[in-house]
Amino acid sequence: MASIITATMGQQKIEICEMTYSAKGQTIQKAFSVAVPDGYIDDGRLTDVEGLATVLKEAFAAEGVVAKEITYIIKSSKIAYKEVYTPVLKMAKLKDMIKANASDYFPVNIEEYIITQKIVSQVETAEGEKQLRVGVYAAAKEMIESYYELAKSLGLTVKNLESYSNATVSLLGKQIGPEVSVVIQVDDDSSTVNVFRNNVLELQRSVPYGKNVVIQAVMEEKDLSEEEAEKLIATERLIHNSFDGDEVTESLRYLINSIVRVVDYYTSRNNQNAVEKAYLTGVSVDMLGLENLFANEFEFSVMQIMEFNEVTIAPNLVLEPKMVSLYIANVGAVIDPINFMPESVEKEGKKDKSIKYLLLGLAASVVAGGILILLPFLEGLSLQSDIEDMEEKIQSVKGIEIVVRDYYDSKDKLRDVENFVALTSNANDYLHDFILALEKGMPSDVSIKSMSVNNGNVTISAVTSTKQSIAKFITQLNDMPGVGGVFVSSSSESKDEYGVVTSAFNIVCVFNSGIEYYVNPELSTEEESGEGEEE
């Protein structure tokens, strides 16, 4: 099994694992964290490479780390992400297509960024067309190159440069069932809400609330230091089962409300796929009572991920299975990394391979050259002819790339416009049409006293002289195109001192964009023309 170091590069601390891994899973041999001095890392960017190298060398020596390859997991808000849909292509052609269109995905000087991609899933459109759902990532070259400088100072070889979000998703997708699930990863300064369906990530959102809001509340309420507050959260159940006014528990209200908004957003766009379960992971394992609070606040079951599939812990390592939550990104980084690679490194790798293949070819030629010196020459001529024919064919269809690119650009713009129109529509836009229809169709002895309207939902308070007029009014409302859900919510009769009976009633109905001006069918053509002559 291959041995590797994985390092999650946080601004305040670096989580490090030394692992062995294969297609069957991962084994954690060592796991520890290193405090980062102030000013060494700024939102994923290494600002003091040599200073950081010194800190890590001391930590590696103290922990007995011996692996010579390293995978970095970058925690940074400056890594841009864009999800796009492409035709079903082989990876080499997909990379070329993504690179050619990168400037359309990210509004930056693309020459200063490294672009990489990952196929998320294969989907089928409403028209039956198969497409690839592709996640495209962009990171500044300067930031990526600094990690290669750090590896050089450490005497290590860079295996991969991974995104924190992709590393965590790679592992979490293997820990849940196929049902729609929310996996809430609580970190120190923020939390990530992941929505999975069929073990594939459907939605991911980051919210700016994490463990530190609870630590701050405990520090203020108990007058403790940060270290004391963090220890108290892990040993005493300070978080209550519900929001009851307790300051520590109340500090989590913004986090829970943010999670609810993400779930509501997903549900509003996926009505057929309701969330069935939620899982808690990350530093939440150190927060007693958090699971019960979440379970009481959500409409679906909530549980902690206590053990991880396909992850084992070496016998000599003292680490509880649930504490793997603290090293999710480290373990996930070896499953399906995206790998930011500088162009210079990529070219060097290709050059090394070319030299290797060249040496092998020369050796083979020396052995076989004396026997078949003429045959390779003739085959070379034939291949050259084939290459020239193929290049002509490529040139003849090259223009289709522009057509394909314009087609997908247009589809993206149409989707944006349709979403914008949907968000700006409101049934109240047709209130004027509804009032005109009422004026045309309402019985003459019905008098409206008040009317309230909310997004097409109407409540009318009116009076009339007979119950027959109420029934007639209801019938005429039901006959109006675009009006529905008509019913009388209340009605009453009263008689004044002269014996005149008055019926008061409330009617509720709904109108929409299908409403048309309504004309009372009892109004004859002659009556209409007669009124016109009087005018």
- The SS3 assignment for 512 reads coil
* DSSP codes of every residue in 108-129: S-GGGEEEEEEEEEEEE-TTS-
Residue 253: phi and psi, rounded to 5, are -60, -45
How far is 305 from 279, CA to CA, in rounded Å? 6
Q: Domain locations in the chain?
A: 81-141, 176-304, 342-398, 427-534
Judge: domain 427-534, CATH 3.90.1150.10: no
- The SS3 assignment for 187 reads coil
Cβ-proximal residues to 132 (8 Å cutoff; 6+ apart), any chain: 85, 86, 87, 88, 89, 94, 119, 121, 122, 123
Please give the pLDDT value at position 215.
96
How far is 262 from 298, CA to CA, in rounded Å? 13
Please give the pLDDT value at position 529.
40
Please give the pLDDT value at position 384.
79
Please give the pLDDT value at position 242.
94
Q: Provide the residue-wise pLDDT of the chain in tens; the chain has 535 residues.
A: 789 999 999 999 999 999 999 888 999 999 999 999 999 999 999 999 999 999 999 999 999 999 999 999 999 989 999 999 999 999 999 999 999 999 999 998 999 999 999 999 999 988 889 999 999 999 999 999 999 999 999 999 999 999 999 999 999 999 999 999 999 999 999 999 999 999 999 999 999 999 999 999 999 999 999 999 999 999 999 999 999 999 999 999 999 999 999 999 999 998 888 899 999 999 998 899 999 999 999 988 999 998 899 999 999 999 998 899 999 999 999 999 998 998 878 776 555 555 555 566 666 666 666 566 666 667 777 787 788 778 777 777 766 777 777 788 788 788 777 777 666 667 677 788 888 888 887 888 889 999 998 888 899 999 998 888 888 888 888 888 888 888 888 888 888 888 888 899 999 998 876 665 544 444 333 344 444 433 3
In terms of Cβ atoms closer than 10 Å to its own Cβ (0-12, 13-18, 19+), residue 264 is: exposed
Please give the pLDDT value at position 398.
67
393-401 CB contacts, 8 Å cutoff, 24+ apart: 401/100
How far is 142 from 65, CA to CA, in rounded Å? 28
Superfamily of domain 176-304: ATPase, nucleotide binding domain (3.30.420.40)
CATH number listed for the domain at residues 81-141: 3.30.1490
User: What are the residues facing 71 on neighbouring strands?
Assistant: 6, 160
- C-alpha distances in Å from residue 481, one per residue of 50, 274, 462, 524: 75, 33, 22, 21
How far is 80 from 135, CA to CA, in rounded Å? 10
498-502 CB contacts, 8 Å cutoff, 24+ apart: 500/465, 501/465, 501/466, 502/463, 502/464, 502/465
Please give the pLDDT value at position 535.
31
- C-alpha distances in Å from residue 57, one per residue of 62, 74, 153: 9, 19, 9
